[in-house]
């Protein structure tokens, strides 16, 4: 099972540059075995074209490395905080994708203007508060996860309705029930961020999407009334 977990994490990591979400060695992906309480994550600083499934590092939800010759990603504590805070997720992705990161650096949520956005996110993609100087100095990566969880608790947001967030001054994190879904959310977030920037150039005073159109598009893909795609029966 853990060999398969490492393979899933590897496949997610190498998908990130393929989708144009990664420059250099920025970013990482991890996959969780919730039953065992162990996740597999990219090793720190290793180029994506040099990775293999065996390079993935296994870490438990208490933060202990349980397998691997390499150091785990420096963002492993952030992933761990999200797994501990969001009990329904099984994969986390972090990138510095250009358009989503532009919103993060500006300290702005990604506004929802159209149905492409509504297919994946049930409203604006939220932005966290800035980290304090103490949070930056002490346990920075864990604090990054803390401000994400705090943001969702503050507005009672369901992580599966909003499978991504922008960390203020930093960049996007996404997640899903599987790491493959977390990659999909990361791709969608970058796509809608680019569209939002272009839309704001064309129509700076445009209002958000109509609530009924948002509900229709999100609801046809998610929840008990979803009907998009093929039947699983």
DSSP 8-state code for residue 37: T
The CATH number assigned to the domain holding 162 equals 3.40.225.10
The model's pLDDT over 93-140, given as tens digits with 9 standing for 90+, comes to: 999 999 999 999 999 999 999 999 999 999 999 999 999 999 999 999
Number of domain units in the chain: 1
- Looking at residues 50-76, what average pLDDT do you find? 96
Q: How many CB atoms lie within 10 A of CB 62?
A: 9
Any domain includes 89? yes
Cβ atoms 221, 119 nearer than 8 A? yes
What's the pLDDT band for 229 if we cut at 50, 70, 90?
A: low
Any domain includes 174? yes
Q: Is the pLDDT of residue 231 over 90?
A: no
Any domain includes 231? no
What pLDDT, on the 0 to 100 scale, is given for residue 230? Answer: 74
Cβ atoms 98, 190 nearer than 8 A? yes
Cβ atoms 146, 152 nearer than 8 A? no
What pLDDT, on the 0 to 100 scale, is given for residue 232? Answer: 65
What pLDDT, on the 0 to 100 scale, is given for residue 227? Answer: 78
Q: Is the pLDDT of residue 226 over 90?
A: no
Any domain includes 206? yes
Any domain includes 232? no
* C-alpha pair distances (Å), 44 with each of 57, 88, 112, 154: 9, 26, 34, 32
Domain that holds residue 202: 2-219
Any domain includes 158? yes
* C-alpha pair distances (Å), 53 with each of 43, 95, 184, 215: 11, 20, 20, 40
Question: Catalytic residue among 33, 48, 60, 119, which?
Answer: 119
Any domain includes 226? no
- Let me know if 228 is a catalytic residue: yes
Any domain includes 225? no
Contacts of 17 (CB under 8 A, 6+ apart): 48, 49
Cβ atoms 9, 43 nearer than 8 A? no
What's the pLDDT band for 233 if we cut at 50, 70, 90?
A: low
- Looking at residues 59-64, what average pLDDT do you find? 98
């Amino acid at each position: 099972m853990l060999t398969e977990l490492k393979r899933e994490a590897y496949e997610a990591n190498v998908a990130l540059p393929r989708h144009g979400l990664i420059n250099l060695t920025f970013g990482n992906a991890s996959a969780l075995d919730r039953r065992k309480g162990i996740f597999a994550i990219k090793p720190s600083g290793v180029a994506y074209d040099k990775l293999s499934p065996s390079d993935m590092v296994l870490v438990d939800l208490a933060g202990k490395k349980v397998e691997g010759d390499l150091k785990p990603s420096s963002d492993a504590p952030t992933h761990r905080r999200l797994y501990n805070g969001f009990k329904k997720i099984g994969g986390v992705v972090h990138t510095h994708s250009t358009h989503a990161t532009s919103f993060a650096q500006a300290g702005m949520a990604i506004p929802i203007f159209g149905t492409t956005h509504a297919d994946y996110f049930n409203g604006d993609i939220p932005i966290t508060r800035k980290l304090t100087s103490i949070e930056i100095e002490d346990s920075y990566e864990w604090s990054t996860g803390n401000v994400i969880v705090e943001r969702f608790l503050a507005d009672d947001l369901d992580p599966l309705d909003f499978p991504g967030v922008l960390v203020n001054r930093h960049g996007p994190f996404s997640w899903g029930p599987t790491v493959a879904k977390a990659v999909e959310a990361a791709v969608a977030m970058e796509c809608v961020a680019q569209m939002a920037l272009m839309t704001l150039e064309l129509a700076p005073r445009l209002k958000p999407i109509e609530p009924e159109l948002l509900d229709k598009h999100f609801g046809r893909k998610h929840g008990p009334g979803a009907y998009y795609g093929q039947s699983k029966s």
